[in-house]
Structure 1
Amino acid sequence: MIPRRPLLATLAAMPCARALAQGAAWPSRPISWTVPFLAGGSADLLARLLADRMAPRLGAQARIVVENRGGAGGAIGSEYVRRQPPDGHSLLLATPSTHATVPATQPATTPYDAAADFTAIAILGQSPLILAVPNASPHRDVRGLIESLRARPGGASWGNSGAGGIGHLTGELMNVMAGGLQTEQVPYRGGSALVEALVKNELEYAWESMGSFTSALQDRQFRALAVSTKARHPLFPDVPTMDESGLPGFETSTWNALCGPRGMPGEVVSRLNAAANESLKEPTVIERLSVAGIDAVSDSTPATTAAFLANELAKYRDVVARANLRL
Structure 2
Amino acid sequence: MKSITYYLTLFVIKLKGLKREFSKDPIDFNKLRKEDVHRPKPASFRPHFMRQFSVAETLLTEVKPAATNGFLLLFCPGGAFVYGPARHHWHAAKQLVSQTQCTLWMVDYPKAPENNIAFISENIDAVYAYAVETHGAGKVILVGDSAGGTLLTALTQRLVQKSKALPLALVLISPVMDASFSNPQLDALEKVDPMLSKAGVLSAKRMCAQHYGVDDVRLSPVNGSFSNFPRTLLLVAENDITYPDQQLVVQQLCEAAVEVKVIKGEGMPHIWPILPVMQEARAAFQEMTSYIRRTIAGASDKV
* TM-score of the superposed pair, with normalisation by structure 1: 0.30
* TM-score of the superposed pair, with normalisation by structure 2: 0.32
User: Which of structures 1 and 2 has the larger relative contact order (alpha carbons within 8 angstroms, sep 6+)?
Assistant: 1
